[in-house]
Amino acid sequence: MAEPSFTPRVLSGIQPSGGLTLGNYLGAIKRFVETQDAGSHQTLYCIVDLHAITVWQDPAQLTRNTRELAAGYIASGLDPAKSILFNQSQVPEHAQLAWIFNTVARMGWMGRMTQWKDKAGKNAEAASLGLFAYPALMAADMMIYHATHVPVGEDQKQHVELTRDIAAKFNHDYETEFFPLIEPVIEGAATRVMSLRDGSKKMSKSDPSDASRINMTDDADTISKKIRKARTDPEPLPETYEGLKDRPEARNLVNIYAALSEQTVQQVMSQHGGAGFGQFKPALADLAVDKLAPISSEMKRLMEDPAQIDAILRDGAARAREIAAPILAETYRIVGLVG
């Protein structure tokens, strides 16, 4: 049998949990923009609001967070004319395919998911069924578009592997090759951005110290001050990246510089090796302000016009459904659901 041919298509999304940080930008959104601008794949980027409600959300805050994330996408360079931008709940085919995948996935697969163990903890009996089953929805998010590639962080690799398992089992059970086996795309410096106060911890919006992170809504002065006050050690930067092995704060700042300047870490070391942080941090601060302040300003402008954001998301959802509806219909036909 001939191998099926799938349109090269990228799907990825972020939960609207509020408080976008530099980690979200360098670890995900900047990658999204690069993939969009490369033009080799059709690109869909969603706001996964159905995933957000697996734990209780204040409704008004969820609405605001959804719009803020959309503003962050657009301000960072995701262009509604080039990519399909939408929120997941407005494309019902996601949830409909997730139910089919709930019948394919095995309980043991779900129980082994690291994020389920982390989020449910010792009180798993009190966690929502949605939290347990959400990897099936995540698989549906990708497969409802026959996505072939997904840009992910290291902590999401397990979900991509589960998606491949679900797709493979569906194909096997129904003697078809309808769903592609998706490929994760993980690349480049600073995919894990660490705290500015503790280089051993991931940068997080939940850290009590605002100085530990760069918020994507921070203005130029705030960005500069946080970089200049970032924790470092007294030694100058070494000539090679290997010299940063046991210096997590210094390594984090070099990774950030490399990602923002679109250089390799070794190029950064060649330029700044031997420099003290009295030189390096002002250079990084200037670079961060140059790259991030325009995004912050545009996010603020967009958030003052929520109707514009909502219109972009509605248009994106309509375009997404043009792809999703035929795939769901064919899935139903394969399974034997009459309509």
Exposure of 38 by Cβ count < 10 A (0-12 exposed, 13-18 middle, 19+ buried)? exposed
pLDDT tens, 300-323?
Answer: 999 999 999 999 999 999 999 999
Average pLDDT, stretch 67-90? 98
36 is in an annotated binding site: no
pLDDT band at 190; cut points 50, 70, 90: very low
- Verify that 179 and 251 share a domain, yes or no: no
Closest Cα to residue 313, out of 2, 102, 13, 32?
13
pLDDT band at 194; cut points 50, 70, 90: very high
Question: What residues contact residue 220 under an 8 Å CB cut-off, 6+ apart?
Answer: 289, 293, 296
- Verify that 162 and 18 share a domain, yes or no: yes
Q: For residues 233, 236, 237 and 243, what is the CA-based torsion angle, rounded to 10 degrees? A: -70
193 is in an annotated binding site: yes
Beta bridge partners of 183: 149
pLDDT tens, 23-34?
Answer: 999 988 998 999
- Verify that 128 and 252 share a domain, yes or no: no
Catalytic residue among 30, 82, 117, 119: 119
Closest Cα to residue 45, out of 65, 76, 70, 23?
70
Q: Is residue 196 part of a domain?
A: no
Q: What is the DSSP string of 265-319?
A: HHHHHHHHTT--HHHHHHHHHHHHHHHHHHHHHHHHHHHT-HHHHHHHHHHHHHH
18 is in an annotated binding site: no
Average pLDDT, stretch 10-36? 92
- Verify that 312 and 285 share a domain, yes or no: no
Q: Does the pLDDT of residue 121 top 80, yes or no? A: no
pLDDT band at 261; cut points 50, 70, 90: very high
Question: What residues contact residue 171 under an 8 Å CB cut-off, 6+ apart?
Answer: 177, 178, 179
Q: Is residue 199 part of a domain?
A: no
- The CATH number that applies at residue 269 is 1.10.240.10
Closest Cα to residue 145, out of 6, 14, 337, 335?
6
* pTM value surpassing 0.75: yes
Catalytic residue among 202, 229, 245, 291: 202
Q: What is the DSSP string of 151-163?
A: E--GGGHHHHHHH
- Verify that 295 and 309 share a domain, yes or no: no
Domain residue limits at 247 = 210-301
- Verify that 159 and 87 share a domain, yes or no: yes
212 is in an annotated binding site: no
Instruction: Yes or no: say if 17 and 52 are a contact pair by the CB < 8 Å rule.
Output: yes
What does the block give as tokens for 238? 């070494």
Known active-site residue 119: yes
Q: Is residue 275 part of a domain?
A: yes
Look over the chain and give the mean of its residue pLDDT values, rounded to a whole number.
Answer: 92
Q: Is residue 204 part of a domain?
A: no
Catalytic residue among 169, 205, 281, 291: 205
Q: Is residue 1 part of a domain?
A: no
183 is in an annotated binding site: no
160 is in an annotated binding site: no
322 is in an annotated binding site: no
What was the pLDDT predicted at 4? 67
Instruction: Give the three-class secondary structure for 11.
Output: strand
- The CATH number that applies at residue 16 is 3.40.50.620
pLDDT tens, 266-284?
Answer: 999 999 999 999 999 999 9
Q: Amino acid identity of 235? A: E
Strands 42-47, 9-14: pairing kind: parallel
Q: Which range, of 30-34, 149-153, 224-228, 248-252, averages the lowest pLDDT? A: 149-153
Q: Amino acid identity of 114? A: T
What was the pLDDT predicted at 154? 65
User: Which helix (H) or strand (E) element contains residue 29?
Assistant: none
pLDDT band at 155; cut points 50, 70, 90: low
206 is in an annotated binding site: yes
Q: Does the pLDDT of residue 88 top 50, yes or no? A: yes
- Verify that 82 and 175 share a domain, yes or no: yes
- Verify that 118 and 56 share a domain, yes or no: yes
Q: Is residue 222 part of a domain?
A: yes
Q: Compute the Cα dihedral for 72, 68, 87, 190 and give only its sign.
A: positive
330 is in an annotated binding site: no
- Verify that 295 and 319 share a domain, yes or no: no
What percent of the chain is helix, strand and coil (3-state, nearest 5)? 60, 10, 35
CA distance 106 to 101: 10
Exposure of 81 by Cβ count < 10 A (0-12 exposed, 13-18 middle, 19+ buried)? exposed
Measured between alpha carbons, how far is residue 149 from residues 7, 121, 152, 163, 211 in Å?
10, 31, 10, 12, 35
Instruction: Yes or no: say if 9 and 148 are a contact pair by the CB < 8 Å rule.
Output: yes
Known active-site residue 169: no
Number of domains, the chain: 2
pLDDT band at 113; cut points 50, 70, 90: confident
